[in-house]
Structure formats: structure tokens, C-alpha cells
Structure 1
Amino acid sequence: MYVWDQCKGMTMILDLLKEAFAHAKLPQSFSDMKKVIRKLGLTSESIHACPNNCKLYWEANAERETCIVCDESRWKKNNSSANSDGKLGHPRDGLAWKAFDIQHPKFAADPRNVRLGLASDGFNPFGTTSSSYSIWPVVLFPYNLPPWISMKQTSIILSMIIPEK
């Protein structure tokens, strides 16, 4: 997903949240949201991933030089890897997904079985540091649809919103 697509996607999620929570003070766009986050002093951490999308180099694996699943080099690209064309890949192209299909052939053979990706991140809807209130939207992505359909607003499922005080 390119940066422009991420901005547009986050702005669409903000629009959805504004509809659901009309009383909440939410940023108007993704760039406005980034400004609020920057003012709060929150930072982000870049986490490397295996070139074949099987594992994150995080916590206990942060210092590894090769993937624990496929033994692919963290730094050098192998021409036989799934994303050697330089484009982002879909999770179903990763070795972990293929290994799941081999371990559970009955599940993989039935096209009616649903594969979902879950994403969540908390934020303060009121935009003030003095308020300890935050919400956590939990979003589901149907991965057994083609990527150009599964990432559209009509396919994304806002399954729940977890309030936290």
C-alpha cells in the first residue's frame, strides 16, 4: 500500500468513526491526526519483517540475521522470494499462509471458509493529554477476497470499539 493509499484509508476510517461518534472531537484527516500525535510526543518504531512475510524481527527476534521460519536473509534479497518485484505482497502469498494450507488441507480446499486479518490501535478521541480516555477500534479485513476488493471501505469490518478509561 502506498503512502497516499494509507492517508486516504485512514481518512476514511476517521470519517467512519466521526459518523459513529458524532460527539467526539476527531481530526478531519490523516495529516491532521499525525499533527495531533506529534504534539502528544508519541513516536513510532520501525520493525523489520521477513522478505517472505513470515515473521517480524521483533522482541526476541530483533537481532536475528535470518528468518526463523524460512531462513531467508534479513538484509539480502533472494531472487526466488515472493516479493522480488519490489512491490508489497498480500499475506496469502507468504510462507506462513502456505504452511497453514498444507497443515489444514480441508480448510484450505473449501472456498466458503473465511480468513480474516485483525488490526487495532488505540487513540484519544478528544485530542487532549489531560484526558486518560482512549478507544480501540478493532477492524477485520477479509483476506480470501482479492486485494483490490478486500482493502476497499465496503469490505472492511469494524467489528467492535473497545472503550478504555
Structure 2
Amino acid sequence: MGLRYEKIHVCPNDCILYRNENESAKSCPECNLSRYKKKEGVPAKVLGYFPIIPRFKRMYSDPVDAEKLTWHKFGRKKVGLLRHPADSPQWRFIDGQLPDFGSEERNLRLGLSTDGMNSYSSLSSIHSTWPVMLVAYNLPPSLCMKRKYIMLSMLISGPKQPGNDIDEYLAPLINDLKLLWEEGVEVFDANRNEMFNFRAMLFCTIQDYPAYGNLSIL
């Protein structure tokens, strides 16, 4: 489909990602642990990152999906009940306080969700892998929780949970979200047959209380 993914090497102690200034390092500058296993070139730990901007562009390149992403503005019926995040005071507050963002109905408001899972289906194992998911709340409630529209943005490998070091893992995703919030990117809207400056914001996070404690340090 032309959508790439990145394999980013990670310090086994979760100190750093081997990217930017540490991209060529062979050991962690904080704990001195080797980047590799015993065999040179085999990373000790790898983070899977699926860049979100090309995937948002792909969504808007489909005229049907592009139209669905404006449901909150043109398709939502206002009946005075809280049936969708677009009915919430938080949504209205953003529209009022950030009119440059709120006036463009194609700008996305995203929910981020993460938690640990045992990918080996064994209750006796303490292995914990953390998928990081994004949900676009511009979509109607019948679609925003469908598998097709839930975006896997990151896969934090085990065997142990990242804990408070999850901020190191989330850095690539946060960088893309900051770009989408502060500057935006040019995206083609296939429904209206035009280019527009696409922006997005992190509207909320969804997790249990232990994961909330980890994410709150961000």
C-alpha cells in the first residue's frame, strides 16, 4: 500500500531510542549497555513505529472516507444529549478558544489509547507488549471504533512494560503530532478535489489507572 514503517533500536533498559544524535551509537550513553545482542548487528530491542502522517493522507485520498471525516460538522444531529465526543463541552471549548483550528472541519481530533497485552496468550507469562492506538473522533460513533479506522501507530515490544519510560518510546509519535498541531501539512481532499492545510490535535487519552500514571508524566 506504500505505507512504510520504522524499526527503531531501543536501549534494553528503556533509556533511549537510537535515533537523531544517538543513531550511530553502539551502546547506551546513560547505562553503557550494548545496543546489540551477542551477534553484532542484531538489536537487543526494537520499537515499531508506523508514521501517522502518510496514513492520514491516505484517508483523505479516498472521497468516501474524506466525507466521513466531516461527519461531526455536517452529519451530526444536535439533540442536546451527550452521544459522541463532538457533543461534549470540551469540543465546544476548543471551537471557541481555538477558532483557527475549529473552523476547519477536516482537522482531526484524536484519542490515544495504550495498555499492556500478553501477545503469547499465556497467563503464566509476564510478557507485556504495548500497542499504541489512535482514534479519529471526527467520525460517527458507528465507525470510530471499527477496526478499519483504529490506527495502530506504535508497537512497544516486551518482555517488560515501559513504565514511566514510555515517554522515550512515544517521542516519534509526539514529534509528528506536534508538527500536525503547530504547522500542519498539505493534504489532498479527494471529496472536494482540493488541497488544504491539515492539522490534528490530541483530544483525549484512554487507558486504565496504572497506564494513566505512566502517560500523565507526558
Shorter-chain TM-score bucket reads 0.3 to 0.5
TM-score scaled by length of structure 1: 0.43
Higher strand share: 2
- Structure having greater relative contact order (Cα 8 Å, sep ≥ 6): 2
